[in-house]
Amino acid sequence: MAGEKVLVIGSGPAGLSATKELLNMGVDVVIVEKESYLGGTPKKLKYSLLFPELRPASEVIDPLIKSADGAKKYMESIVESAKPEGKGFVVTIKDKTGKTTTEKVSAIIAASGFEHFDSRRKYEYGYGIIPNIYQISDIERMLSENKLVTTKGTPPKRVAILLCVGSRDATVGNTYCSRVCCAVSIKQAMEIKQRIPDAVVHIYYMDIRTYGLMEDKLYWRSQLEYRVGFIRGRISEFMRGPNDTVIIKGEDTMNLNRALVVPYDMVILANGMELGLGSKQVAKALGLEFEEHGFVKPLDPDRLPVQSTRKGIFLAGAITGPKTIADSITEGQAAAMKAYEYITKGVWEEPVKVEVVEH
């Protein structure tokens, strides 16, 4: 489609799937990516297997990266501004060396993703202070590199996973559910049992949210086939024990609030999702609005979830809230279709307001 060009900000699953669809429809695509590589968080943190199918992350992400071959790319770059001009925008792009350039585009898709909650903000859990306490993002890298060992260099025989770290927690300002932590944690528990069959793995939870079809593939399968233990408990703190063990202190809320003092070789904190500084910068540069939890606000979260509050700018993936990789890919496709309708037919839907008559 000669003359029509769409800017995609971010090259994670959402941005890459949007790019793929637009290229397939004959639209020129410009990608702006702040990192030196494509693939987003799955590549940055070296994701191992994906839930619920336990398939290698590379099987999903690498084909998406390949599909973006036809796009023009600005790597290690950010969008500084997007000024309206004609039916589109003139976008200023700045790279790592400070060099700036401009691109004229017909529409923009913001898909700059999320960052994991930094568990050091929950100081009582000892992340970064007590040895052998990790985040799920650390464990993904260790599993991917086949280096799941304690500080002694030996495979852990007793592992605890604590859910909802930085999620559903008003003390850190994140009252929302991060949606994927339960599934990722159970997936990691199963991976640990695959590699260390005699390991004891316990998951401490408030409640389990393996929604939809994941219930059988993760929650039940992890217990029936892998013998992963689930303990509904309230953990107050972790302490450093003898020989670099980690001692959990708290209570079992399922069994008459029985006190817990349990040693483990390794503790994994299931840290949640936040918007992150990169997406905040994108939102500011594009003049987008934020919703109450700090994510970017769609024009209408029910009817128009991939339209932003600024005409001609579309949204995809975790920039609007916690998402799975599959959800992000779907939203990337949806944003591409909406952007195509916009640049070819001028379609821009508005929210519908219906008057409610009180009786």
- Any idea where the domains of the chain sit in the sequence? 5-114+275-345, 117-272
pLDDT score of 234: 84
Question: Terminal CA-to-CA distance of the chain, rounded, Å?
Answer: 53
pLDDT score of 1: 61
Interacting residues of 292 by C-beta distance below 8 A, sequence separation 6+: none
- pLDDT means per 10 residues in the chain (359 residues)? 87 98 98 97 93 94 98 98 96 96 98 96 94 95 95 97 95 95 97 97 95 93 97 90 94 84 96 94 98 97 96 98 97 98 96 80
User: What's the fold here for domain 117-272?
Assistant: FAD/NAD(P)-binding domain (3.50.50)
Interacting residues of 240 by C-beta distance below 8 A, sequence separation 6+: 126, 130, 131, 246, 247
Distances (CA, A) of 273 to 141, 181, 199, 358: 17, 9, 28, 40
pLDDT score of 353: 81
pLDDT score of 2: 58
Count of CB atoms situated within 10 Å of the CB of 152? 12
Judge contact between 73 and 51, C-beta under 8 A: no
pTM for the full predicted model: 0.94
In this chain, the answer to whether the domains covering 5-114+275-345 and 117-272 adopt an identical fold is yes
* Contacts by residues 301-308 (CB-CB < 8 Å, ≥ 24 positions apart): 303/349, 303/351, 303/352, 304/349, 304/351, 305/331, 305/334, 306/331, 306/334, 306/335, 306/338, 307/338, 307/348, 307/349, 308/110
Class of domain 5-114+275-345: alpha beta
pLDDT score of 252: 87
